[in-house]
Amino acid sequence: MVNSNTSALGIIFPNSYDSLVPELVSERLMASIPFAGRYRMVDFLLSSMVNSGIDNISIIVRKNYHSLMDHLGSGREWDLTRKNGGLSIFPPYSEKNVKVYSGRVEAVASILDFLETQKEKYVILSDTHTAVNFDFRKMLEEHISSGADVSVAYKREEIPEGFKKIEVGRSDLYYTLSIDNGRVNRIFINAPEPGPQNFSMNIYIMDRKFLMEQVKGAYARGYVYFERDILAPRLEKLHVHAYEFTGYTARISDMKSYFDENMKLLDDENLDGLFSPSPVYTKIRDDNPTRYINGATAKNVMVADGCVIEGDIENCVLFRGVKVGKGAKVKNCVLMQDTVIEDGAEVEYLITDKNVTITAGKTMKGADTHPVYVAKYQVV
Amino acid sequence: MAKEMIAMLLAGGQGSRLYALTQKLAKPAVPFGGKYRIIDFPLSNCVNSGIDTVGILTQYQPLVLNEYIGNGQPWDLDRLYGGVHVLPPYQQASGSDWYKGTANAIYQNISFIERYNPQYVIILSGDQICKQDYSDFLRFHKEKGAEFSVAVMEVPWEEASRFGLMVADENDKITEFQEKPKNPKSNLASMGIYIFNWDILKKYLIEDEADPNSENDFGNNIIPNLLRDGRNMYAYHFSGYWKDVGTISSLWEANMEVLDPEHSGIDLFDDEWKIYSRNSGMPGHKISPEAIVENSMITDGCRISGSVKHSILFAGVRVEPGAEVEDAVVMGGSVIKAGAVVKHCIVAENVVIGENAVVGAMPADGEKAVATIGPGVYVGSNAKIGPNAMVNNNVKDGDVQW
């Protein structure tokens, strides 16, 4: 085999941390949240995998996955329409009643038959709440040379505010690692320590057969969580290698962080961090280029294609097909696809979901600390 | 299964009047309107009209065009039966030949057309900016019971002698054809878009090929022969936007017209008739706090820190602080360095305009010159490129070219 392919398959959990942003996922899931002007969260992970030579990717969906299916289609835009491998979407399995998984153990258990027949030696598991340009080849090389059973990627950073609010006993867990000489010796669950931590990115690499054995055993015992129930109690027996990621990450942990992470991309350094070294693919909409009509002004903005700007925009991220009317003033806003700000409207610190219309002359203002969110298809 | 109508797109033209822009690519591959190439227009028209089989006849510098077309997926022309096919000249048992003329190009691909057993064949040209519903053209052709129809545009009488003209009666039946006549009898200019009944086209192609004196050209040979034989020939009136972008100034003008769809240009903002293209895949464009953007069209991947007025910027263009861009068409990947002034000109793909260099100038009254910088050219710092210049090679720092 020519060395362009990586002997690893990807498994993506698109619903992880849905509960942190209930408004944004009311009709979608974490993976299909629009981000960075023309992308959805899942694009970053899929593109990173594809650019790392991984062309067999499974997405185990839990609920609200219509928007994700619509976005991914056959996977062509990510070059994932392959004869061997390609993109597989696993919806919940319906026997007597629809069975919805709650943790990774159950999720992976539901595709064991599929995993059995795959040819790749390794598997990579990941969530989608972090937008990142990740080189999986590098992590896999380090995993192999470390001789570990499992590798987990982490980043040195403070625990995001949104995570700190997760109460003990809730279904969404986050993990911080204690590391000794590259080996994880303790996993802390929902531990809101101050200052920079070894914060797990929930990206794992391990042998496919190893994963299957672990999941089979754990599932039989009624375990739910991979980290809490399989890794954490057995760190002495299992060699868990910690892989430090030092690149740019944009993590969604609540509405505020969603706003901030979009805004941060107005800084070229951050934008380049997220979009290099490898390109990020997404669904093509065939929009025309964006048009700035006489009288429009634009300062410090990132704008996708298909927009028509007649008013003033400043410090904004505009997704595809946004219209800003004459005399409208738009400041410090994240406007998702096909939002319409009509003539003379004034908005500030606003997050509009898809197809929102702010009618002519209206004024709507949020605050720096609390941007106002307007749900899909609302007319204000 | 037979196809009702398939399209044959003539894309072999060298486009020699576009000079610097067509040194390394065929004219249909020339970028247009911020994120398109010229060929996107006929291809999108085909798909939007329900034509799912297109043969593209290439000959001159086909590399860029071939790669751009690929399997036709961006235009939804990746089909099991039909789809888009690039058709270069090829070697046959009887010998091989370049395409000698437009008619010969089709003649050499008779066997391609026969695979689809079509009733009608539409002949398209790959160098026009136009949104046209070919299904309406076909409806006209069928209603008239025509064997041949040509799409025509009314042009001002004083300009009529520059065109191939169709003289037609009150039922649109063509009675005469005049190629660039001194004394025009009609102001109906041929757009070079024809619908033929396939059996008729095939018969005349074979006949034309057998004539050693023929130039194997639709306008000069096939159409006159059809007239000679009194075939049912009709002129289909088209009244939308149509522009032959065969020259630097017409290409520049057509781009500028895109900025004013309400009055002059082609409307690229029409959801009912989308123009498809191969996507750059770059993130949204960025306009920095110190930038000025007025009345312009900007697409993905651009980063603007200078001033951009009444211009069209293609994917990934960078305009550095203090640079000025006005009345300009700047194609993909080009960089306008700090303090450079770029006016009334076309800058091709992947050009670098050095710091404080000056390219082109706003024209004085009556002047029409458009400075042109060819693809990949490096224009050094403080260089000066005059409004009539056509630059194909790198320009050293501080050099002056007129």
Put simply, whether B71 touches A (Cβ < 8 Å) is: no
Residues in CB range of B360: below 8 A, 6 or more apart: B328, B342, B343, B344, B345, B370, B371, B385, B386, B387, B389
Does A304 lie in the same domain as A193?
no
Tokens 């002997």 locate to A7
Does A169 lie in the same domain as A28?
yes
Closest CA to B301 of A71, A51, A289, A52: A289
A218 touches A229 (CB < 8 A): yes
* Nearest CB to B287; choose among A38, A284, A300: A300
A108 touches A60 (CB < 8 A): yes
Domain boundary pick from A275, A305, A331: A275
Task: Judge whether A305 lies within some domain.
Answer: yes
The sign of the torsion formed by the CA atoms of B90, B96, B101, B107 equals negative
Please judge whether B293 and A38 are an interchain contact, meaning their C-beta atoms are less than 8 angstroms apart.
Answer: no
Task: Judge whether A379 lies within some domain.
Answer: no
Q: What are phi and psi of A322, to 5 degrees?
A: -80, 140
Residues in CB range of A252: below 8 A, 6 or more apart: A17, A20, A21, A24, A30, A33, A35, A41, A129, A130, A131, A162, A258, A261
Domain boundary pick from A228, A251, A275: A275
Residue A379 DSSP code: B
Does A324 lie in the same domain as A249?
no
Please judge whether A294 and B294 are an interchain contact, meaning their C-beta atoms are less than 8 angstroms apart.
Answer: yes
Residues of A with CB below 8 A from B283's CB?
36-39, 271, 275, 280, 302, 304
The sign of the torsion formed by the CA atoms of B33, B38, B39, B43 equals positive
Task: Judge whether A109 lies within some domain.
Answer: yes
Q: How many CB atoms lie within 10 A of CB A377?
A: 12
Does A204 lie in the same domain as A70?
yes
Does A212 lie in the same domain as A79?
yes
Instruction: Give the pLDDT band of residue A3 (cuts 50, 70, 90).
Output: low
Does A295 lie in the same domain as A270?
no
Residues of B with CB below 8 A from A300's CB?
287-289
B341 touches B327 (CB < 8 A): no
pLDDT mean for each 10 residues of chain B (402 residues): 90 79 87 94 95 91 87 92 88 73 92 94 92 95 96 91 90 91 91 95 94 90 93 94 87 91 78 90 94 95 96 96 96 96 95 95 81 94 92 90 82
**Section A136-165 average pLDDT:** 93
Task: Judge whether A280 lies within some domain.
Answer: no
The total number of structural domains that make up chain A: 2
Q: From start to end of A245-310, where are the E strands?
A: 249-251, 290-292, 297-303, 308-309
Least Cα separation, residue B260 to chain A (angstroms): 9
For residue A190 the two structure tokens come to: 């929902």
B317 touches B335 (CB < 8 A): yes
**Section A240-263 average pLDDT:** 94
Task: Judge whether A340 lies within some domain.
Answer: yes
CATH number at residue A46: 3.90.550.10
Does A68 lie in the same domain as A200?
yes
Task: Judge whether A99 lies within some domain.
Answer: yes
* pLDDT at residue A171 greater than cutoff 70: no
Does A326 lie in the same domain as A265?
no
Does A263 lie in the same domain as A301?
no
pLDDT attached to residue A341? 96
* pLDDT at residue A102 greater than cutoff 80: no
Does A302 lie in the same domain as A252?
no
Task: Judge whether A2 lies within some domain.
Answer: no
* pLDDT at residue A267 greater than cutoff 90: yes
Distances (CA, A) of A76 to A55, A72, A283, B318: 11, 8, 9, 30
Tokens 């270069």 locate to B88
Residues of A with CB below 8 A from B295's CB?
292-294, 296
Tokens 């920095």 locate to B288
Q: Which domain holds residue A127?
A: 8-275
Residues of B with CB below 8 A from A279's CB?
281-282
Q: What are phi and psi of A215, to 5 degrees?
A: -70, -40
Out of A133-137, A286-290, B98-102, B215-219, which region has the weakest mean confidence (pLDDT)? B98-102
Domain boundary pick from A215, A245, A275: A275
Residue B194 buriedness (CB in 10 A; 0-12 / 13-18 / 19+): buried
Between A130 and B366, the higher pLDDT residue: A130
Put simply, whether B288 touches A (Cβ < 8 Å) is: yes
Task: Judge whether A169 lies within some domain.
Answer: yes
Does A229 lie in the same domain as A306?
no
Tokens 């106002």 locate to A372
CATH number at residue A318: 2.160.10.10
Helices (H) and strands (E) in chain A, counts: 9, 28
Please judge whether A305 and B284 are an interchain contact, meaning their C-beta atoms are less than 8 angstroms apart.
Answer: yes
Would you say the pTM of this structure is higher than 0.80? yes
Does A267 lie in the same domain as A161?
yes
ipTM: 0.86
**Section A359-364 average pLDDT:** 93
